[in-house]
Amino acid sequence: MRADRVIAVDLGGTKILAGVIDHDGRVHETVERPTVTTSQTALLDDLADVVRSLPHDGVGAVGFGIPSRIDHRTGIALGAVNIPLRDVPFRAEMERRLDLPIAVENDASCAAYAEFRHGAGQGVQNFVMLTLGTGVGGGVIAAGSLFQAWTELGHMVIVEDGEPCAGACSGRGHVEAYCSGRAADNLAKKLIGPSATAHDLVQDRHPVLERIGHHLGVAMGSLVNIFGAERIVVGGGFGVAAFDQLLPAARLAVLTEALAPAGQELEIECARLGASAGLIGAGLVAFEADA
Ligand SMILES: [Zn+2]
């Protein structure tokens, strides 16, 4: 069956956003509520409840974008930060509750896929999105298909033995430690004052953004060398706000780090779909589950 519509769910650490999505990636009815974090069962029940609360006319599948590593073969959610999901057969649990085909994908990959199909990634075949929010996430499209794998792009090493990563990551010198909104917040406190945030760096057009842009470009250079990315899109709250100020230094670093001619040819653009990218992408993977 080819459905006219699907229901998409974007599960975040603090809120659940769900909506009805059509073939063109348009978002229709939506519903939003706080994320239940009391237990895994309560969360799964609540997710099913959110889906049931939306109109089901013409709906053929449900797609979930979740902040977790996923075993795509089995549909198991391997573990999320701040949300009670660990080693749970997510796809099977949702199929049982909703009696519809279920797709499950990492949330950052969903956002990348949405930008590729309906946003700033249209027209190329090899595409990477980097999301600079509190942390750094990302997704890869290779030869026109979503690369369904690890893609923890924020934890790529760009400085050997560099700054430590925050949270559960034990690594050092990762992109996230230099280019995330949290990293920029910390720099703002150090350089401007204790109450300053990344927003103030952008507002002041602070020269430290050039250094962050350089780190970002070093990461992009490696992504070009590994995935042959023709275009890299920068999203996320901090990434979009600071994009224009990060771009010149990032562009220069790409020219140094990426092999010619890929470095010169790389297009770097700002994300277009905003906060709904994850929801739209969850809808797109649902259509593929239904196909
Ligand atoms: Zn890390």
Q: Which two tokens stand for residue 35?
A: 């994320």
183 Cα to the center of ligand 1, angstroms = 12
- From the candidates 24, 71, 87, 107, give the one annotated as an active-site residue: 107
pLDDT recorded at residue 233: 98
**CB-based contacts of 84-91 (< 8 A; 24+ apart in sequence):** 84/37, 84/38, 84/39, 84/40, 84/43, 85/40, 85/43, 86/40, 88/40, 88/44, 90/44, 90/64, 90/66
The answer to whether the Cα torsion of 133, 11, 279, 77 is positive or negative is: positive
Nearest-angstrom CA–CA distance, 229 and 30: 33
Query: Counting every residue, how long is the chain?
Result: 291
186 Cα to the center of ligand 1, angstroms = 16
123 Cα to the center of ligand 1, angstroms = 31
Which residue type sits at 132? L
Q: 91 to each of 59, 94, 168, 284, how far by Cα in Å? A: 17, 5, 25, 16
pLDDT recorded at residue 57: 92
> By 3-state DSSP, what share of the chain in percent is helix, strand and coil, each rounded to 5?
40, 25, 35
Is there a catalytic annotation at residue 22? no
pLDDT recorded at residue 13: 85
165 Cα to the center of ligand 1, angstroms = 5
Q: Is the peptide bond before 55 cis (omega within 30 degrees of 0)?
A: no
157 Cα to the center of ligand 1, angstroms = 8
SS3 67: coil
Contact 170, 187 (CB under 8 A): no
Nearest-angstrom CA–CA distance, 96 and 48: 10
| pLDDT averaged per 10 residues in sequence order, the chain, 291 residues | 88 94 95 94 97 95 94 91 89 97 95 97 97 93 92 94 89 97 97 97 97 98 96 97 98 96 95 95 92 68
Around ion ligand 1, residues with a beta carbon closer than 5 Å are 155, 165, 169, 171, 174
Nearest-angstrom CA–CA distance, 92 and 87: 12
pLDDT recorded at residue 3: 82
The answer to whether the Cα torsion of 240, 277, 214, 175 is positive or negative is: positive
176 Cα to the center of ligand 1, angstroms = 6
